[in-house]
């Protein structure tokens, strides 16, 4: 089953899923930029309804404590939009980890995530469907980030929840996999984020070869990398037989990303990127794997004996 903010659903109910998004977020404490505050709930609903018109049926909302998580808001948005929303337990990376958790050990992180997974988030009774987005810094795993990732692995092992990560500019994906699997988390429970930001083909390939899922989840952010390069990498990965491990999303985090403010909105992958793949000869079957079948597997909670 897949855990959404409205309860459990069967994997086949998920539909087309955007696997790494933010609807309600506030990064301004660190970024000092009001553009990084998404707090307009009517606007969120409008954007979600647009996503649904483009064919989207589900969204994984990876905003955690320290980033402005609001699961009651997510529940309202899901009820009103008809979009399945998966919420998360977790912490982001240094320096976004809340003050109360900045000196925690892996065991403390794990205990916190397990408690939320079993009892609900912030006393709401709403259960998370994923642990994430837990992350590392650019080309560096800081001591607190190491404890955080180990804690996520231990909690994932205990609860069966998938673990989805943040890699800064796509770096250290392979090292994240090694750390998570060394602490008992199976590869099929791991989703390594932002791999489309890494221009080093061999590094991204090495992540795929471990058997984990990877996110191409900053589609449309051409200030980091042209989408043509994302397409080229995907074509090569398909040729090598990795199509069952790839997930797609846009990772919108700013007011300026929303359609109402002149941005592309959450439907951009479906509206703009999928046609590019089709133009390059990618089959509908493979596209359905990226958008439907792979997310349904990746976010199914693994049974624990």
Query: What are the pLDDT digits (tens) for 159-170?
Result: 999 999 999 999
Residues 197-235 have pLDDT tens digits of: 999 999 999 999 999 999 999 999 999 999 999 999 999
Confidence band (pLDDT; 50, 70, 90) for 196? very high
CA atoms of 109 and 105, how far apart (whole Å): 6
Q: What percent of the chain has pLDDT over 70?
A: 99
Helix (H, G, I), strand (E, B) or coil at 283: coil
Averaged pLDDT for residues 142-167: 98
- The answer to whether position 268 is within a domain reads yes
Q: Which one, of 179, 239, 175, lies nearest residue 207 by Cα?
A: 175
- The answer to whether position 175 is within a domain reads yes
CATH number of the CATH domain containing 19: 3.20.20.140
Total structural domains within the chain: 1
Kind plus residue range of the DSSP H or E element containing 21:
strand 17-21
- The answer to whether position 204 is within a domain reads yes
Instruction: Confirm if 213 and 187 have CB atoms less than 8 A apart.
Output: no
Confidence (pTM): 0.98
Partners of 9 in the β-ladder:
2
Per-residue pLDDT at 147 exceeds 80: yes
Q: From residue 15, how far is each of 2, 12, 152, 280 by CA, in Å?
A: 12, 7, 27, 24
Residue spans of alpha helices (H) in 54-198: 71-81, 106-119, 143-159, 173-182
What is the biggest distance separating any 2 CA atoms in the chain, rounded to whole angstroms? 50
Confidence band (pLDDT; 50, 70, 90) for 303? confident
Query: How many Cα atoms sit within 13 Å of 226 on the Cβ side?
Result: 4
- The answer to whether position 212 is within a domain reads yes
Residues 49-86 have pLDDT tens digits of: 999 999 999 999 999 999 999 999 999 999 999 999 99
Per-residue pLDDT at 275 exceeds 70: yes
CA atoms of 179 and 163, how far apart (whole Å): 12
| DSSP, residue by residue, 128-144 | PSEEEEEEEBTTB--HH
DSSP-assigned letter for residue 43: H
- The answer to whether position 91 is within a domain reads yes
- The answer to whether position 305 is within a domain reads no
- The answer to whether position 304 is within a domain reads no
Tell me the chain's radius of gyration from C-alpha atoms.
17
Count the neighbouring beta carbons within 10 Å of the beta carbon of residue 9: 18
Q: What percent of the chain has pLDDT over 90?
A: 99
- Alpha carbon 11 to its chain centroid, in Å, reads 17
Instruction: Confirm if 166 and 93 have CB atoms less than 8 A apart.
Output: yes
Phi-psi category of 170—alpha, beta or left, where left has phi over 0 and alpha has psi -120 to 50? left
* Phi, then psi, of 15 in degrees rounded to 5: 75, -165
Token readout for 133 is 């987005």
Confidence band (pLDDT; 50, 70, 90) for 305? low
- The answer to whether position 303 is within a domain reads no
CA atoms of 129 and 62, how far apart (whole Å): 10
Q: Which one, of 215, 227, 300, 236, lies nearest residue 268 by Cα?
A: 227
Averaged pLDDT for residues 261-289: 98
CA atoms of 106 and 135, how far apart (whole Å): 14
Which residue range is the domain that position 157 belongs to? 2-298
């Amino acid at each position: 089953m897949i855990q959404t903010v409205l309860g459990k659903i069967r994997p086949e109910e998920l539909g087309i899923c955007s696997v790494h998004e933010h609807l309600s977020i506030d990064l301004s404490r660190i970024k000092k930029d009001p553009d990084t505050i998404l707090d307009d709930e009517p606007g969120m609903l409008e954007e979600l309804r647009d996503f649904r018109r483009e064919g989207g049926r589900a969204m994984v909302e990876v905003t955690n404590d320290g980033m402005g998580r609001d699961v009651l808001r997510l529940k309202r948005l899901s009820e009103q939009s008809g979009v399945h929303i998966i919420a998360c337990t977790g912490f982001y990376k240094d320096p976004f980890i809340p003050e109360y958790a900045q000196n925690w050990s892996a065991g403390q992180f794990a205990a916190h995530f397990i408690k939320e997974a079993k009892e609900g988030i912030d006393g709401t009774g709403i259960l998370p469907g994923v642990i994430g987005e837990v992350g590392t810094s650019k080309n560096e795993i800081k001591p607190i980030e190491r404890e955080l990732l180990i804690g996520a692995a231990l909690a994932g092992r205990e609860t069966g929840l998938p673990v989805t990560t943040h890699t800064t500019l796509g770096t250290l994906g392979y090292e994240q996999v090694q750390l998570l699997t060394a602490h008992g988390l199976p590869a099929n429970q791991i989703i390594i984020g932002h791999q489309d930001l890494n221009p080093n083909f061999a590094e991204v390939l090495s992540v795929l070869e471990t058997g984990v899922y990877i996110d191409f989840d900053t589609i449309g952010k051409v200030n980091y990398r042209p989408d043509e390069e994302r397409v080229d990498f995907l074509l090569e990965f398909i040729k090598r037989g990795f199509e069952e491990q790839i997930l797609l999303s846009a990772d919108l985090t700013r007011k300026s990303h929303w359609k109402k403010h002149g941005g592309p909105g959450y439907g951009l992958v479906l509206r703009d990127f999928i046609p590019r793949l089709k133009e390059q000869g990618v089959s509908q079957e493979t596209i359905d794997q990226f958008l439907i079948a792979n997310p349904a597997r990746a976010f199914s909670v693994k049974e624990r004996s």
